[in-house]
Structure 1
């Protein structure tokens, strides 16, 4: 009875007041940086980092940030530690994530194909390196590997990585393309240029249903930029920060219908598409598209919608840095001061 009522309620509310998709800075409503998910002090830290960035190598910057800041919330780690053995139960706590693959896998695949123009029958993503951040038990890592990509899944919960490795070992087709590591994004970023994964090594990063569990979104965005190649893609699916997302995503889904375990989400950590785009733009990304997503608990399926009021998927691209002229070249191109003095005297 509750499921049927909830399904009708969500369908009605989501279709009644669609939220426009955000693709460009134009037309934004007023933005208050201090309201974004308890990140009130992070902009100042970011500004301090920018002052020294011109004099420090990227890998050194990443190492310094990872030493003092972390994306990991210890409470979230404990929560997912208790669920580590349940990732592949398609009717259990992660049932909604299993069915979400019907949307998020094609969303990632099609946008990458548009970016790279590759076509290989059966393995359309062959040759691409993808990082799956917060991979859990590998629910999204494995499908991307089956599409031909070389995928590294990382997660701070070691037991979840153990579950992912065990499950992928049952499929010989994944052995050479899917790997897992129990580590954080900032640890991977700190490996620098010389590391196996290192800086600028990935064609794409996937963070699906992850950012709403992180302790530091600024560090997350910074490290994503660091490990991505120029023109690399960042894919995020998450929950909007609205009254409707609280009512349906927490009260109904966690407390009434028990679709997800109680306490899984903290509404204060949710972030709107506008705020997330602003965060990514400040870290060298350009948002290409934002699409609304809706879950129907009656059918257990996901569908695309014009409304981003609850869930949404975002695709952003790392911008190429403008090459800075070499100092020696700049000095060579500028007139010699002594020559300028002689030229001025001759003119006079």
Structure 2
């Protein structure tokens, strides 16, 4: 019996039907909006503008980890799994940076929208493939396949977060990177993320979020590190509904972005990469903050 066969067999047992990351209620919520992903003035406009900071965050972090990159195509040769890709809002800019992207989403209508949109660009059509499936299905068939996983605005919608993280560990290559953006679980995030954003201003549809599924960066870090990851950076994010733009802030009490790496067995879970003041000024997205309000 080969090691690869053993890993695949173990994955099938671990990520069986009793452990699923897909919440049917969440899928039903997004069903009605599947055709609206590329309406930049519609319900997903905050995600369009989030690309202005989340794409550089991913790009710059990966470039800092390796000096081997091509000018004009900096992510060439990097295999990225975009979990909960929706209509491809993040998959496409990562593909334009040269990455080979696999976007997955449990909702077939989302995948159809993503496929249709990428077909307008022949270069993207070659670099991006989409699949309507769950993360655990990928974990059953793939072991240490991807260099990077991105899960942007996803973890607050999954049914089982620990299974989700275990699956990420399963499919990442050694020292691979995991990027997460999500909402913190604080009183402020409830007021601004649900009461104001959903019920008062209608920035996102009412009922999009369940505050009980939000998670603080401290809780997420503990969960990641107990599952074999090293958290390297945590950065606060803020959305301005009047300008429609995102910015980096010190506080992680509303939204935050996190970068973690699949650790080596001998590494300790308490270490983070130090960042000098000069580096922080040059790359604010790499600032390592965990301030809460």
Residue 330 (structure 1) aligns with: none
Q: CA deviation at 1:306?
A: 0.4
Q: CA deviation at 1:172?
A: 1.0
Contact 1:291 1:313 in 2 (8 A): yes
* Match status 1:316 vs 2:242: no
Residue 74 (structure 2) aligns with: 124
Q: CA deviation at 1:82?
A: 1.0
* Match status 1:59 vs 2:8: yes
Query: Take 1:285 and 1:58, find their aligned partners in 2: how far apart are those partners?
Result: 18
Residue 173 (structure 1) aligns with: 123
Alignment partner for residue 232 of structure 1, among 170, 176, 179? 176
Q: CA deviation at 1:153?
A: 0.1
Residues 164-313 of structure 1: pairs in structure 2 closer than 5 A: 164-191=114-141, 198-313=142-257
Contact 1:118 1:125 in 2 (8 A): no
Alignment partner for residue 112 of structure 1, among 62, 68, 71? 62
Query: Take 2:116 and 2:68, find their aligned partners in 1: how far apart are those partners?
Result: 31
Aligned residue pair count = 262
SS of the residue corresponding to residue 258 of structure 1 reads coil
Superposed CA deviations along residues 83-111 of structure 1, whole A, max 9, x for unmatched, are 10000000000000000000100000011
Query: Is the alpha carbon distance of 1:280 and 1:108 closer, same or farther for their aligned partners in structure 2, counting shifts above 3 Å?
Result: same
Unaligned 5+ segments in structure 1 are 1-55, 192-197, 323-348
Q: CA deviation at 1:117?
A: 2.0
Query: Take 2:201 and 2:9, find their aligned partners in 1: how far apart are those partners?
Result: 47
Bigger CA drift: 250-259 or 108-117?
108-117
Unaligned 5+ segments in structure 2 are 267-293
Query: Take 1:117 and 1:281, find their aligned partners in 2: how far apart are those partners?
Result: 27
Superposed CA deviations along residues 124-150 of structure 1, whole A, max 9, x for unmatched, are 000000000000000000000000000
Instruction: Provide the aligned C-alpha RMSD in A.
Output: 1.2
Larger radius of gyration: 1
- RCO greater where, 1 or 2, for CA within 8 Å and sep 6 or more? 1
Contact 1:169 1:175 in 2 (8 A): yes
TM-score by length of 2: 0.88
Contact 1:189 1:199 in 2 (8 A): yes
Query: Take 2:153 and 2:10, find their aligned partners in 1: how far apart are those partners?
Result: 27
Residue 140 (structure 1) aligns with: 90
